[in-house]
Amino acid sequence: MSSVINKELPDFSVQAYHNDEFKTVTRKDLEGQWSVFFFYPADFTFVCPTELGDLADKYAELKDLGVEVYSVSTDTHFTHKAWHDASDTIKKIKFPMLADPTGALSRFFGVYIEEEGLAYRGSFVVDPEGKVKISEIQDNAVGRNAEELVRKVQAAIFVANNDGEVCPANWKPGADTLKPGLDLVGKI
């Protein structure tokens, strides 16, 4: 499996359920903003609503950073609406829920499970130029933490805006960063 880090998003056009409407989302809609693609296996499941609810709770914080969130599964936009109408947890979602029934987006990001027609849990951060800057894929039995995703987004934005600086482990806004150079080699 090849990495998607620094790969540019392909052109795409998918249906979405967002704000009680069906709409089309394309690559062009992402231009000029940071984006998070949050893949999960399927609607009407068990771990997925816990993750999506957690992410919904962090959505305002991500929007304040200038980030749009796109949750994605291989379900249709009709299924997303039905799940939204049926689940109090999913009703909290304010971000677009993308439908990927052909698996095209899931395949690009490397999360598609061919034998099941589902996606692994994958979180991806895309910069305003459409390049993938963060990639995390995990087994479907393990849920993710939206707070850690927010921290990674903050770090990616900081690095993009501060040439020559890097963020160490557990970095949070306001904490010290590093400037790689010979003076640091072997001293950290």
Q: Which is nearest to 136 in space by CA: 162, 156, 159, 117? A: 156
Domain 13-145: give its CATH code: 3.40.30.10
Contacts of 63 (CB under 8 A, 6+ apart): none
Alpha carbon distances (Å) from 73 to 37, 39, 170, 174: 10, 6, 29, 35
pLDDT digits (tens, 9 = 90+) for 98-153: 999 999 999 999 999 999 999 999 999 999 999 999 999 999 999 999 999 999 99
Share of the chain above pLDDT 70, in %: 96
Answer left, alpha or beta for residue 63, where phi above 0 means left and psi between -120 and 50 means alpha: alpha
- State yes or no: is 167 an active-site residue: no
**Which member of 36, 48, 126, 157 is catalytic?**
48
- What does the pLDDT read at residue 180? 73
What global pTM score does this model have? 0.95
- 8 A C-beta contact, residue 100 and residue 74: yes
- Measure the CA–CA gap between 5 and 56, rounded to whole angstroms: 25
Q: For the chain, which residues make up each domain, given as ranges? A: 13-145
Contacts of 142 (CB under 8 A, 6+ apart): 47, 121
Amino acid 44 reads F
What number is the average pLDDT over the span 33-61?
A: 97
